[in-house]
Amino acid sequence: MFHLLVAYGGWPDGGGSISNRRIYIKSDEEPGPLVLNEGGRLDATKVSRFPALLMTEVGGDGPQLARVVYITSVVQGPTETAIQYVAENGIKPIPNEDIESFASQLGISRNALTHTHWDVKQADLFKFLLMNQQKAQPASQVFSLEAIHQPQPSLVSIMMPFAAEFDPVYAAIQSAVNSLGLKPMRADNFWEHHYVIQDIVNLIARARVVICDLSSKNPNVFYEAGIAHALGKEVILIAQSQDDVPFDLRHIRYVKYLNNAQGLSVLSDAIASRIQTVIGQ
Protein backbone atom coordinates (compact mmCIF):
# COMPACT_ATOMS: atom_id res chain seq x y z
CA MET A 1 0.00 0.00 0.00
CA PHE A 2 1.21 3.54 -0.68
CA HIS A 3 0.10 7.17 -0.67
CA LEU A 4 -0.21 8.92 -4.03
CA LEU A 5 0.14 12.70 -3.83
CA VAL A 6 -0.06 14.67 -7.07
CA ALA A 7 0.39 18.46 -7.30
CA TYR A 8 0.41 20.84 -10.26
CA GLY A 9 3.64 22.53 -9.22
CA GLY A 10 5.30 19.46 -7.72
CA TRP A 11 6.49 19.09 -4.13
CA PRO A 12 9.24 21.08 -2.39
CA ASP A 13 11.99 19.32 -0.48
CA GLY A 14 10.95 18.47 3.06
CA GLY A 15 7.31 19.50 3.08
CA GLY A 16 4.27 20.94 1.32
CA SER A 17 0.51 21.33 1.60
CA ILE A 18 -2.67 20.29 -0.16
CA SER A 19 -6.26 21.49 -0.08
CA ASN A 20 -8.51 19.39 2.14
CA ARG A 21 -10.97 19.22 -0.77
CA ARG A 22 -8.31 17.33 -2.71
CA ILE A 23 -7.89 14.55 -0.16
CA TYR A 24 -9.85 11.61 -1.56
CA ILE A 25 -9.42 9.20 1.35
CA LYS A 26 -12.75 8.14 2.89
CA SER A 27 -13.21 6.71 6.35
CA ASP A 28 -16.02 4.38 5.25
CA GLU A 29 -14.08 2.85 2.36
CA GLU A 30 -10.96 0.70 2.29
CA PRO A 31 -8.15 1.47 2.81
CA GLY A 32 -9.29 4.64 4.61
CA PRO A 33 -9.39 3.16 8.13
CA LEU A 34 -5.72 2.23 7.80
CA VAL A 35 -4.67 5.91 7.67
CA LEU A 36 -7.58 7.79 9.29
CA ASN A 37 -8.55 8.03 12.95
CA GLU A 38 -12.06 7.42 14.28
CA GLY A 39 -12.96 11.03 13.57
CA GLY A 40 -12.11 10.63 9.90
CA ARG A 41 -8.97 12.76 10.07
CA LEU A 42 -5.53 11.72 8.88
CA ASP A 43 -3.60 9.98 11.65
CA ALA A 44 0.11 10.86 11.38
CA THR A 45 1.20 7.60 13.02
CA LYS A 46 -0.85 5.49 10.61
CA VAL A 47 0.12 7.58 7.59
CA SER A 48 3.83 7.16 8.31
CA ARG A 49 3.62 3.36 8.09
CA PHE A 50 3.35 3.42 4.32
CA PRO A 51 5.58 4.96 1.62
CA ALA A 52 4.33 7.88 -0.42
CA LEU A 53 4.80 8.64 -4.11
CA LEU A 54 5.01 12.41 -4.61
CA MET A 55 4.74 13.62 -8.18
CA THR A 56 4.02 16.62 -10.35
CA GLU A 57 0.86 16.49 -12.44
CA VAL A 58 1.56 15.16 -15.92
CA GLY A 59 1.96 18.37 -17.90
CA GLY A 60 2.06 20.42 -14.70
CA ASP A 61 4.32 23.33 -13.80
CA GLY A 62 7.08 21.40 -12.05
CA PRO A 63 9.70 18.68 -12.56
CA GLN A 64 8.11 15.77 -14.38
CA LEU A 65 9.40 13.38 -11.77
CA ALA A 66 8.04 11.25 -8.92
CA ARG A 67 9.84 10.68 -5.61
CA VAL A 68 9.37 8.01 -2.95
CA VAL A 69 9.20 9.51 0.56
CA TYR A 70 7.90 8.77 4.04
CA ILE A 71 5.49 11.28 5.56
CA THR A 72 6.62 12.23 9.07
CA SER A 73 4.08 14.92 10.04
CA VAL A 74 0.47 15.71 9.15
CA VAL A 75 -1.28 18.90 10.33
CA GLN A 76 -4.85 19.43 9.11
CA GLY A 77 -6.13 22.99 9.19
CA PRO A 78 -9.59 24.33 8.25
CA THR A 79 -8.85 24.35 4.52
CA GLU A 80 -5.32 22.99 4.00
CA THR A 81 -3.31 20.00 5.22
CA ALA A 82 0.41 20.53 5.73
CA ILE A 83 2.79 17.58 5.58
CA GLN A 84 6.47 16.99 6.14
CA TYR A 85 8.39 14.10 4.65
CA VAL A 86 11.81 12.54 4.19
CA ALA A 87 13.03 11.06 0.93
CA GLU A 88 13.82 7.38 0.49
CA ASN A 89 17.37 8.07 -0.68
CA GLY A 90 17.92 4.57 -2.01
CA ILE A 91 15.39 5.18 -4.80
CA LYS A 92 16.15 7.63 -7.60
CA PRO A 93 13.45 10.03 -8.88
CA ILE A 94 11.17 8.30 -11.37
CA PRO A 95 10.20 10.03 -14.64
CA ASN A 96 6.47 10.74 -14.93
CA GLU A 97 6.40 8.91 -18.24
CA ASP A 98 7.45 5.72 -16.46
CA ILE A 99 4.63 6.12 -13.93
CA GLU A 100 2.22 6.65 -16.85
CA SER A 101 3.44 3.49 -18.56
CA PHE A 102 2.85 1.34 -15.50
CA ALA A 103 -0.12 3.20 -13.99
CA SER A 104 -2.48 0.23 -14.27
CA GLN A 105 -0.05 -2.02 -12.36
CA LEU A 106 -0.06 0.47 -9.52
CA GLY A 107 -3.85 0.76 -9.50
CA ILE A 108 -3.72 4.33 -10.81
CA SER A 109 -6.04 5.66 -13.52
CA ARG A 110 -4.51 7.86 -16.20
CA ASN A 111 -6.77 10.74 -15.17
CA ALA A 112 -5.43 10.57 -11.62
CA LEU A 113 -2.03 11.69 -12.88
CA THR A 114 -3.34 14.94 -14.34
CA HIS A 115 -4.94 16.62 -11.32
CA THR A 116 -3.92 17.51 -7.77
CA HIS A 117 -5.05 15.08 -5.08
CA TRP A 118 -4.07 12.69 -2.28
CA ASP A 119 -5.26 9.11 -2.41
CA VAL A 120 -4.15 5.72 -1.07
CA LYS A 121 -3.44 2.81 -3.40
CA GLN A 122 -3.38 -0.88 -2.50
CA ALA A 123 -0.41 -1.92 -4.65
CA ASP A 124 2.98 -2.86 -3.16
CA LEU A 125 5.05 0.10 -4.35
CA PHE A 126 8.48 -1.31 -3.45
CA LYS A 127 7.75 -4.67 -5.06
CA PHE A 128 6.64 -2.89 -8.23
CA LEU A 129 9.76 -0.73 -8.33
CA LEU A 130 12.05 -3.69 -7.71
CA MET A 131 10.41 -5.87 -10.35
CA ASN A 132 10.64 -3.13 -12.96
CA GLN A 133 14.22 -2.38 -11.99
CA GLN A 134 15.10 -6.03 -12.56
CA LYS A 135 13.31 -6.03 -15.91
CA ALA A 136 15.34 -3.00 -16.95
CA GLN A 137 18.65 -4.62 -16.11
CA PRO A 138 20.58 -6.87 -18.50
CA ALA A 139 20.00 -10.56 -17.87
CA SER A 140 22.79 -12.34 -16.04
CA GLN A 141 24.76 -14.76 -18.17
CA VAL A 142 25.69 -16.86 -15.11
CA PHE A 143 22.44 -17.36 -13.19
CA SER A 144 18.73 -16.52 -13.28
CA LEU A 145 17.21 -13.77 -11.11
CA GLU A 146 13.62 -14.98 -11.52
CA ALA A 147 13.43 -15.85 -7.81
CA ILE A 148 13.37 -12.12 -7.00
CA HIS A 149 9.69 -12.31 -7.98
CA GLN A 150 9.05 -15.10 -5.45
CA PRO A 151 9.74 -13.40 -2.09
CA GLN A 152 9.37 -15.36 1.14
CA PRO A 153 8.70 -12.81 3.92
CA SER A 154 9.76 -15.20 6.70
CA LEU A 155 13.02 -16.36 5.07
CA VAL A 156 16.38 -15.34 6.54
CA SER A 157 19.21 -16.60 4.33
CA ILE A 158 22.58 -17.33 5.89
CA MET A 159 25.79 -17.12 3.87
CA MET A 160 28.82 -18.53 5.70
CA PRO A 161 31.71 -21.01 5.39
CA PHE A 162 30.63 -24.65 5.66
CA ALA A 163 33.60 -25.74 7.81
CA ALA A 164 32.77 -27.68 10.98
CA GLU A 165 34.18 -24.93 13.17
CA PHE A 166 31.30 -22.71 12.05
CA ASP A 167 28.57 -25.16 13.09
CA PRO A 168 28.17 -23.52 16.55
CA VAL A 169 27.96 -20.14 14.83
CA TYR A 170 25.20 -21.40 12.56
CA ALA A 171 23.35 -22.80 15.57
CA ALA A 172 23.54 -19.42 17.31
CA ILE A 173 22.18 -17.66 14.22
CA GLN A 174 19.41 -20.24 13.87
CA SER A 175 18.43 -19.67 17.49
CA ALA A 176 18.17 -15.90 16.94
CA VAL A 177 16.12 -16.25 13.77
CA ASN A 178 13.79 -18.92 15.20
CA SER A 179 13.13 -16.77 18.27
CA LEU A 180 11.51 -14.19 15.97
CA GLY A 181 9.27 -16.75 14.26
CA LEU A 182 11.32 -16.57 11.05
CA LYS A 183 12.91 -19.35 8.98
CA PRO A 184 16.72 -19.61 8.81
CA MET A 185 18.26 -21.41 5.84
CA ARG A 186 21.64 -21.80 4.19
CA ALA A 187 22.54 -23.31 0.83
CA ASP A 188 23.44 -26.77 2.10
CA ASN A 189 19.90 -27.19 3.49
CA PHE A 190 18.23 -27.70 0.11
CA TRP A 191 18.80 -28.74 -3.51
CA GLU A 192 16.67 -27.35 -6.32
CA HIS A 193 19.10 -27.06 -9.21
CA HIS A 194 22.06 -28.92 -10.66
CA TYR A 195 24.13 -25.76 -10.26
CA VAL A 196 24.94 -24.76 -6.69
CA ILE A 197 25.25 -21.07 -7.60
CA GLN A 198 21.60 -20.99 -8.74
CA ASP A 199 20.43 -22.40 -5.41
CA ILE A 200 22.47 -19.77 -3.61
CA VAL A 201 21.12 -16.92 -5.76
CA ASN A 202 17.55 -18.14 -5.25
CA LEU A 203 18.12 -18.28 -1.50
CA ILE A 204 19.34 -14.68 -1.51
CA ALA A 205 16.71 -13.39 -3.93
CA ARG A 206 13.75 -14.78 -1.96
CA ALA A 207 15.00 -13.71 1.47
CA ARG A 208 13.70 -10.90 3.62
CA VAL A 209 17.09 -10.62 5.33
CA VAL A 210 20.51 -12.02 4.38
CA ILE A 211 23.17 -12.70 7.02
CA CYS A 212 26.76 -12.93 5.76
CA ASP A 213 29.59 -14.24 7.96
CA LEU A 214 32.79 -12.75 6.56
CA SER A 215 35.02 -14.66 9.00
CA SER A 216 38.10 -16.33 7.49
CA LYS A 217 37.81 -14.11 4.41
CA ASN A 218 35.84 -16.74 2.53
CA PRO A 219 35.67 -15.63 -1.15
CA ASN A 220 32.33 -17.37 -1.67
CA VAL A 221 30.72 -15.34 1.11
CA PHE A 222 32.22 -12.12 -0.29
CA TYR A 223 30.67 -12.97 -3.67
CA GLU A 224 27.32 -13.76 -2.05
CA ALA A 225 27.35 -10.53 -0.05
CA GLY A 226 27.88 -8.65 -3.31
CA ILE A 227 24.89 -10.38 -4.90
CA ALA A 228 22.71 -9.56 -1.89
CA HIS A 229 23.71 -5.90 -1.96
CA ALA A 230 23.12 -5.70 -5.72
CA LEU A 231 19.62 -7.12 -5.27
CA GLY A 232 18.81 -4.49 -2.66
CA LYS A 233 18.48 -6.94 0.23
CA GLU A 234 18.77 -6.08 3.90
CA VAL A 235 22.20 -7.52 4.69
CA ILE A 236 23.59 -8.15 8.19
CA LEU A 237 27.35 -8.58 8.17
CA ILE A 238 29.12 -10.49 10.96
CA ALA A 239 32.80 -11.32 11.45
CA GLN A 240 35.18 -12.64 14.09
CA SER A 241 37.81 -10.02 13.27
CA GLN A 242 37.98 -6.59 11.64
CA ASP A 243 40.67 -8.02 9.38
CA ASP A 244 38.05 -10.37 7.88
CA VAL A 245 36.04 -7.45 6.51
CA PRO A 246 37.13 -6.38 2.99
CA PHE A 247 38.13 -2.73 2.57
CA ASP A 248 35.12 -2.04 0.32
CA LEU A 249 32.73 -3.15 3.09
CA ARG A 250 34.33 -1.48 6.10
CA HIS A 251 32.08 1.57 5.80
CA ILE A 252 29.12 -0.71 6.64
CA ARG A 253 28.44 -1.58 10.27
CA TYR A 254 28.96 -5.22 11.17
CA VAL A 255 28.63 -7.44 14.25
CA LYS A 256 31.96 -8.62 15.64
CA TYR A 257 31.83 -11.83 17.68
CA LEU A 258 33.93 -14.44 19.45
CA ASN A 259 33.47 -18.11 18.55
CA ASN A 260 32.97 -19.36 22.12
CA ALA A 261 29.92 -19.99 24.28
CA GLN A 262 29.68 -16.46 25.67
CA GLY A 263 30.54 -14.83 22.37
CA LEU A 264 27.92 -16.82 20.46
CA SER A 265 25.28 -15.95 23.06
CA VAL A 266 26.08 -12.26 22.53
CA LEU A 267 26.03 -12.79 18.75
CA SER A 268 22.60 -14.44 18.90
CA ASP A 269 21.14 -11.53 20.87
CA ALA A 270 22.75 -8.97 18.54
CA ILE A 271 21.39 -10.66 15.41
CA ALA A 272 17.88 -10.93 16.87
CA SER A 273 17.96 -7.24 17.78
CA ARG A 274 19.23 -6.21 14.35
CA ILE A 275 16.64 -8.28 12.50
CA GLN A 276 13.87 -6.74 14.61
CA THR A 277 15.12 -3.29 13.64
CA VAL A 278 15.39 -4.18 9.96
CA ILE A 279 11.92 -5.71 9.61
CA GLY A 280 10.19 -3.41 12.10
CA GLN A 281 8.98 -6.00 14.58
All structural domains of the chain with their residue ranges: 2-132, 146-279
pLDDT at 133: 64
CB atoms within 10 A of CB 163: 11
Q: Per-residue pLDDT for the chain (281 aa), expressed as one digit of tens each?
A: 999 999 999 999 899 999 999 999 988 888 889 999 888 899 999 999 999 999 999 999 989 999 999 999 999 999 999 999 998 877 888 889 888 888 888 889 888 999 999 999 988 888 777 766 655 555 567 778 778 778 888 999 999 999 999 999 999 999 999 999 999 999 877 666 667 888 999 999 999 999 999 999 999 999 999 999 998 899 999 999 999 999 989 899 999 999 999 999 999 999 999 999 988 75
Q: Which of 91, 247, 271 is nearest to 179 (CA)?
A: 271
* Pairing between β-strand 52-56 and β-strand 2-7 as defined by DSSP bridges: parallel
- pTM, whole model, 2 decimals? 0.54
pLDDT at 32: 86
pLDDT at 29: 85
What's the CATH fold of domain 146-279?
Rossmann fold (3.40.50)
Tell me how far apart the alpha carbons of residues 102 and 121 are, in angstroms, rounded to a whole number.
14
Rg of the chain over CA atoms, in angstroms?
A: 22
Q: Which residues pair with 82 in a beta bridge?
A: 17, 75
* Phi, psi of 122, rounded to the nearest 5 degrees: -85, -15
Q: Which residues pair with 117 in a beta bridge?
A: 6
| Residue 51 contacts residue 70 (beta carbons within 8 Å) | yes
Chain center to CA of 246: 25
